Amino acid sequence: MIPREFFTQPPVECARALVGCELVWGRCSGLVVECEAYAEHGDPACHTFSRPSAREFVARHRAGAAYVYFNYGMHWMLNVLVKGDANGFVLLRAIEPRRGLAAMMKRRGGRSGRELTGGPGRLAAALGVTGRDHGRDFCVSPGRCFLAGDRVEVVADARIGISRAKELPWRFSMADSPFVSVPWLGKRKPSRGYQPRLGQKRE
DNA sequence: TTCGTGATAGAG
DNA sequence: TCTATCACGAAG
């Protein structure tokens, strides 16, 4: 089980390091292939920027706590609280299924591949994450935790689906993973490489 | 491309 | 109250 100290790193470091680790959720598990960092301070896209309840959550919980919320009236989002010198969250955006494939597919209406766990809403649905899991500690039970993984190649680009602070390259993906929700943006312009720019559009 | 669906927060 | 917004995804 990944110890609590892991979640005391700054959010960006933590997110990058989480790629390749295994997320264990009951009888299901999968390798983290995509996640995003959100910083408590100086990041307008972070819930703490506009939601008092999020700031209170940070204050009241330890590093490694699950921050779960309901979005767009239908999707649960699973995050991990990062708390140390710099606080924030890591949003889990995609996993590569490892264990409990049948259970995940059942929850997802028989979908498979990228459609099964590629995307934060899909990931949470596949694992059965709901608001009941809000505040759950990832560092006490082997049934709900992260396991260290092999070192993998990680690529960074801009976060997905946000309207503020789009320029920050705080999305981290496992290179060449077919389970990532949206392919690495840098791949589309290989000759120039990825360079974050203000106001850059994704579509 | 369009739209469902609900929690949250801030304004009036 | 009311309105805007939102770390999305399925259907068309």
Give Cβ neighbours of residue A197 (< 8 Å, ≥ 6 apart).
A167
Q: Can you identify the CATH homologous superfamily of domain A4-188?
A: Methylpurine-DNA glycosylase (MPG) (3.10.300.10)
The protein residue nearest C5 (Cα–C1') is: A72
The secondary structure of residue A16, as a DSSP letter, is H
Distance CA A100, CA A38 (A): 29
Q: Using a pLDDT cut of 70, give the percent of chain A over it.
A: 92
Q: Digits of tens for pLDDT over chain A (203 positions)?
A: 999 999 999 999 999 999 999 999 999 999 999 999 999 999 999 999 999 999 999 999 999 999 999 999 999 999 999 999 999 999 999 999 999 999 999 999 999 999 999 999 999 999 999 999 999 999 999 999 999 999 999 999 999 999 999 999 999 999 999 999 999 988 544 333 333 333 333 32
Verify if strand B has an atom below 7 Å from the CB of A201. Answer: no
Residues 50-109 of A with CB under 7 A from strand B: 50-54, 70-74
Give residue A186's pLDDT.
84
For chain A, the structural domain boundaries read: 4-188
Give residue A187's pLDDT.
59
Verify if strand C has an atom below 7 Å from the CB of A87. Answer: no
The protein residue nearest B4 (Cα–C1') is: A73
Q: Which nucleotide C1' is nearest A54 CA?
A: B8
Burial tier of A77 (Cβ tally within 10 Å: 0-12, 13-18, 19+): buried
Distance CA A118, CA A42 (A): 28
- For A99-141, what is each residue's pLDDT tens digit? 999 999 999 999 999 999 999 999 999 999 999 999 999 999 9
Give residue A185's pLDDT.
87
Query: Cβ(A105)–Cβ(A55) under 8 Å?
Result: no
Distance CA A55, CA A184 (A): 31
Distance CA A163, CA A181 (A): 18
Query: Cβ(A3)–Cβ(A139) under 8 Å?
Result: yes
The protein residue nearest B5 (Cα–C1') is: A73
Give residue A141's pLDDT.
96
Give residue A202's pLDDT.
31
In whole angstroms, B4 C1' to A179 CA is: 26
Give residue A196's pLDDT.
34
Q: Which residues pair with A137 in a beta bridge?
A: A65
